Chain A
Amino acid sequence: MSVNLTLLIVMGVLYACGIYLILERSLTRVLLGLMLLANATNLLILATGGYAGLAPLFSKSTDPRDYNDPLPQALILTSIVISFAVTAFMLGIIYRTWALARQDDIQDDAEDRRVAKTPSFDAEDDSVVPEETSEFPVTAVTEAAKEGGPL
């Protein structure tokens, strides 16, 4: 099995840049980072096909080993188009965020912050319960007696 370092090094650079970008608050950069990561992954899949070869267009006289491996190619083709769809979706999100909040930033989740500050006292668990010595408070009993209802 042959390993083409050129592809892998380019892949590495794309991964490094992509990850640098997605660890960022700007949504646009996160999207660009994702695109770089997608490209890097495509290269990784491509590299599994081994060395460059003939385009996989069948001809009876060619040994199957002379083609560039068609299976990774099919996978990459799928990946390219899916990346397009994901990118378009993210663009929709970026536009929407901007239209609503005039922001291109990933905000911290305020709810998570609130949870972290939850006090340890919880009324349901910790408040003092008045002692109850009857299921039938006197008022209810006397009322029932007045109405002459069934006992």
Chain B
Amino acid sequence: MITVLAVTFAAATVAPWIFRKLQRNAFYVLAAVPAAAFVWLLLQYDRVYPGKGGNPTGGFIEENLPWIPNLKLDFAFRMDVLAWVMSLLVLGVGSLVLVYCARYFKNKDANLGGFGAQLLAFAGAMFGLVTADDLLMMFIFWELTTVLSYLLIGYARTRLAARRSALQALMVTTAGGLAMLVGLIILGQAAGTYRISAIMTQAAALITGPAQSAVAAAVVLILVGAITKSALVPFHFWLPGAMAAPTPVSAYLHAAAMVKAGIYIVARLAPGFSESPYWLPLVLGLGLATMLVGGYRALRQTDIKLILAYGTVSQLGFLMMVVGLGRPDAALAGLALLLAHGLFKASLFLVVGIIDHQSGTRDIRKLSGVYKSSRALAIVAGIAAASMAGIPPLAGFVAKESVLETFVHYGTGHSGAGAAPEPWGLVLLGGLVLGSILTFAYSARFMWGAFATKQGVDRTPFKAVQPSFLAAPAILSFLTIVYGLWPDPVDGWIQPYAALFAAPDAGTSASSASHLALWHGLTPALGLTALTFAAGVVMFHARNLVSRAQSRVPDWVDGDRAYQRTVGALDDVAVWVTGRTQRGSLYFYLAVILTVAFAVPLTALIVANKPLPGGVFLIDPNSPLQLIAAAGIVVGALAAVRANKRFLAVLMVSVTGYGIALMFALQGAPDLALTQMLVETIILVAFVLAMRSLPPELRDRTGGKYRVVRVIIGVAFAVTMIFVAIYAMGARIAEPVSLSFPRLAYEGGGGLNVVNVTLVDIRAWDTFGEISVLAVAATGVASLIFVRSRGERLDKAATIPEGTVGRRAAAGGSSRDDASLALVRKFAGSLTDPWLVAGRTLAPERRSIIFEVVTRLIFHSMIVFSVYLLLAGHNLPGGGFAGGLTAGLALTIRYLAGGRFELREAAPISAGMLLGTGLATAAAAGFVPLLLGGQVFQSAIIEFWLPLFGDIKFVTSTIFDIGVYLVVIGLALDVLRSLGAEIDEHFEETSSADAADQGDIGSAAPIASPATTGGSAATAPGKGIP
């Protein structure tokens, strides 16, 4: 079975290529796949039916392939009698439909390859569904058929009707499928296994056992899945809607696949679960309602395909009742009817396809004289329709006879000694007869509508039908006759399945068990059949009367409209909810998130109502000076909130930052203090560089009533955090893990600075992750500013003419500004001493001799100091972060003093290169130990002697720190290049453009070069020289 499935799906995968080669004839190739499987199936007959000596319920073939052992999910397949009979239908009809497709479609039809693949895969999925022995496996195939039917129904994707019907079928069957999944899981959990065969053996124990209510619910949920799939009332509407599919698809869907899946699952579970409390009411009630509604509706249709579609709805209800009754005679009759229905319905649909194909219409008001045009077609159709109506000696008659007999026994109880009549049995029987009358009437109406010559209607032009086109329906009709005349083999196939059911009357012996036969004698069932025919004939003859009566009755079961309303209402609710929650306002989202963030812990704290833990001190006894730092931070934070100038707010935030650096120092964390100071300084510069073009005012734009909300959320969040922190810290009972860090750092890491060793050794993975983030952020900054590249191009300073960078065009007027500008330029002319490499490229008014000299003096010292911090960090405060930031600051000073070309000269290596090298170095420090037989990021201590330096103790984690150092420099450099140098260029471009446009320098956009503002960058950005 697994091979069959694998081959089928593999063939479906390559189908599009076959179609490219052979065009529509490729359908023949595809048809060969299920045909071969069909032959294989016949060869398995002996194993499934071991004969007289074997098990009365038949043999089986099992195949298992482990899939996910942890979930106990296997590719578990089991071919038993039921699966064998179903497969017969699935593979046989599937093969014939594919053959038929080869003549139905035209070579020029679009997407034929995909369509063929889907149809074949559909057959494969159906086969998998009926043979799967695992509930979840079966569900997977179940949903596969749903998805594939969606694709097949929506084949004509340019037609709205097709798309909508496909979606409708998908929604309805998926909704049922999900309900079924829940039911399957409940059932599987209750049974302790998902293996279907194992569940069936303990079914009786399950429905009476301790979990009986759960099992009953599971059975109802599974039935919901079956009901939606098999288009029972109230979900019947999707099936006529699915008529938008190409007719071969409809044929397969209606006769052998998809809708039969629901019948199959009922048939599969009936032997064990038909005793479940809600089973019979659901199956019999909905089945009967569906049979009547379908038949009634079929009589009103004018499209022959729709007559058949509603006919299928009716027949599905019929089948569901019989298969679900849970008695051996019903099981026999049910499967017999299933096979008969498959044969005649497939044949009829294929005939409809031919009529549509040859005449261009399916409307019975336009069709006329088709019988005269194609007798063969009419005969094929006539046999199938007669079988549908239950006329002897055809398959439909045999099956229906046995169904009637079953229900006669069920209703009257005289099949054996002591069997009491079921109270509703006679009602059901009456319903069945009424349904059969309707079936007879719409069968007649179908034949009349499709083939008769009607008065007042022109004879429909009809092209001759090729034998190859007619072959598939002809074979099916032929089988219908064979089955009717010689039902014994079918009887033999089904009897073992019927034997699974406990006979309701213990006295029934094997000899009196029911059998399929053409002639049972003069039984009540035969009488009912005769009544059916008589009433059916009357109804057909009075068809005008009937349709007039029908048109007066309003539609009380309009599932389609109900579905549309439901979907519409769902859409409206979704839009409403989205509109209320997804408002597009960040303020709203944050307010909701933060409110939840404080409300939930606060509620928990209040509900728990625990006393405050001990050990809470207002002032740290070891470090009372913290109060001063605290006061500074609080003042800074409040001032930052109130500041209405941009740079004032930035400065105030910096105050808190520096205050926190002090706090770190007082707490005993020199590394943190150092790093925080450096970072604050660089951030301050970055702020000034990035924001010099923004207006200086900082208006509060979310004022008014929102301000109160903001204050409330802020304060409540803060208070919550304080108490959460107090309780969390008070709840600590274990020794801190870090108590062993100092010893670990010294003995394992070979360093005295515990924090640094923690970063580069004990928790090196963390740090590695962090520098990766730094590299990403740096790249992000660069790409935000440079947009198109990472911005590695910048000319060497030597190629730039003197005094051109950031030059202000002189105004022609006589204002004081111009005078001072001229004065500055005069002095600057003598400033030729090359303190900086690229100082000369700056416009004279941008330069500051003091700044240049100071830069010259301290730059190299800072770089040396940064290297010192890097290397000393292992034992003293410092390390890669502090060192890298110091180097970054040194570069910042160079840039501020000498402009962007100075930066280029100071850091000839690109930032990307630095980041990459740094990451690579750190990574190497991680994996090289692996190559040497150690662990990732394991460090080693190497001691050696160097002349001049003396004894050197080198710890390899320093290499990792060097990587960190490089990445941090890369980040700082990227910030300077992007927020500094590149924005400078933007300014110069826009200001020169402005100058060219207007010739008006006074009102040109503020030109700011950091060189002019360097000394007082924080307070006077972009003002130029006074």
A residues lining the B interface (CB < 8 Å)? 1-26, 28-29, 32, 35-36, 39-40, 42-44, 46-49, 51-60, 62, 64-65, 67-74, 76-78, 80-89, 91-96, 98-99, 104-106, 108-113, 115-118, 120, 122, 124-127, 129-138, 140-142, 144-145, 149-151
Contact = CB atoms under 8 A, between A and B. Distances in A.
A56 to B, nearest CB: 4
Contacts of B380: none
Interface residues of B, number: 158
A74 B755 contact: yes
Given A2-B615, A6-B620, A24 B701 contact: yes
Nearest to A74: B758
28 contacts: A6-B618, A8-B722, A10-B633, A21-B641, A22-B590, A28-B691, A52-B623, A53-B622, A57-B753, A57-B754, A70-B754, A73-B672, A74-B755, A77-B671, A78-B766, A80-B672, A88-B979, A92-B780, A94-B691, A109-B585, A118-B575, A126-B568, A129-B160, A135-B246, A138-B361, A141-B360, A149-B106, A151-B357
Given A8-B722, A111-B584, A129-B164, A23 B713 contact: yes
Contacts, number: 407
A64 B633 CA distance: 30
A87 to B, nearest CB: 6
| 4 interchain residue pairs of minimum CB distance | A116-B579, A112-B584, A109-B584, A68-B668
Given A16-B717, A78-B770, A91 B687 contact: yes
A140 B356 CA distance: 12
B582 A112 contact: yes
Contacts of A48: 729
Contacts of A98: 693-694
A95 B717 contact: no
Nearest to A22: B590
Given A28-B694, A82-B770, A133 B710 contact: no
Given A88-B975, A98-B693, A132-B161, A12 B722 contact: yes
B638 interface: yes
B356 A134 contact: yes
B714 A136 contact: no
Given A24-B700, A29-B649, A95 B690 contact: yes
Contacts of A14: 633, 637, 656
B971 A74 contact: no
Given A46-B663, A77-B671, A92-B978, A15 B721 contact: yes
B657 A35 contact: yes
Nearest to A139: B360
A2 B296 CA distance: 83
A106 B745 CA distance: 47
A135 B691 contact: no
B682 interface: yes
Contact of B718 (A6, A12, A80, A136): A12
B583 interface: yes
Contacts of B698: 26, 28-29
Contacts of A10: 630, 633-634, 663
B495 interface: no
A14 B657 CA distance: 11
A137 B462 CA distance: 14
Given A80-B675, A83-B679, 19 more contacts: A1-B615, A1-B730, A5-B619, A10-B634, A16-B718, A19-B714, A20-B641, A21-B640, A28-B698, A29-B649, A68-B667, A81-B774, A88-B686, A92-B780, A94-B694, A115-B579, A124-B160, A124-B163, A141-B358
Contacts of A72: 738
A64 B286 CA distance: 78
B21 to A, nearest CB: 17
B660 interface: yes
Nearest to B575: A118
Given A26-B701, A28-B694, A3 B730 contact: yes
A85 B777 contact: yes
Given A81-B679, A136-B357, A108 B584 contact: yes
Contacts of A115: 575, 578-579, 582
Max chain B C-beta neighbours (<10 A), residue from A59, A118, A145: A118
B1011 interface: no
A94 B693 CA distance: 11
A25 B726 CA distance: 33
Contacts of B641: 17, 20-21
B652 to A, nearest CB: 8
A8 to B, nearest CB: 5
B710 A19 contact: yes
A3 B617 contact: yes
A116 B668 contact: no
**Best-buried of B568, B664, B711, B885 by chain A (most CB within 10 Å):** B664
A108 to B, nearest CB: 5
Nearest to B974: A88
Contacts of A134: 356, 360-363
B670 A55 contact: yes
B878 to A, nearest CB: 11
A150 B885 CA distance: 80
Given A47-B729, A115-B579, A13 B637 contact: yes
B736 interface: yes
Nearest to A65: B739
B732 A1 contact: yes
A116 B578 contact: yes
